[in-house]
Amino acid sequence: MARDDAGVPVTLSEPQVSLLGPVDEKMLESLACQLGAIDDGTDPVTLELTTLGGDAELGRRAMLDIEGTRARLRPRRFVFLGKTVVYSAGVTLMSGFPRGDRYLTRDAVLLIHSRQLEQDVKLSGPIRSSLPLLRAKCHEIETGIDLEQQAFEKLIAGSQVSMDELLEKALYNWYVPAEEALKLGLVAGIV
């Protein structure tokens, strides 16, 4: 049984919400159904997640749904349990939980990386018509960077990881084993 920072036992053995697979529309639908089915009890609620990642925007949406559910359940406790792998958009989802309510299994690994973009931009025609296309692409990239930073701020809140450190490591796919995540204060405990 895991214990939180104050030594209070946290039951993680029977998750009420279980998510496995890519962070995609199917997972988001499953999350909504499972969150809606949480009873009105007083026991802590646990969400378990195993994912190799997925769509960054759907990870952000899941994070918002979790934050809304946490507010609805208050003062009932809602905790996160990452199992085996919590990669990419899964880490964004995890960011919907404050550090004190995040747990990992001993074998778990987080993958934290910058948002990805793979796109060709083809310019053709009058040069004046190319400028709006380039400005639109710059705005898309700037917005993506802002959204990435917002999720990163939630991820590192209360931890020993600075934003500068995170931004540097995220450029090169930062794999964080459970023990390291605990030492850095990204999670409250390991089970």
Q: What is the mean pLDDT of each run of 10 residues along the chain (191 residues)?
A: 51 87 97 92 92 94 94 92 97 96 96 85 86 90 89 95 96 97 97 91
Say which amino acid occupies 141: I
What's the domain range around 107?
2-190
Query: What is the predicted pLDDT for the residue at 3?
Result: 52
Pairing label, strands 174-177, 109-112: antiparallel
82: left (phi > 0), else alpha (psi -120 to 50), else beta? beta
The confidence score (pLDDT) of residue 109 equals 98
**Residue 125's pLDDT is what?**
86
Global confidence as pTM: 0.87
CATH number assigned to the domain comprising residue 22: 3.90.226.10
Longest Cα–Cα distance of the chain, Å, equals 67
Omega within 30 of 0 (cis) for the link into 132: no
pLDDT for 145? 87
Q: How many domains does the chain have?
A: 1
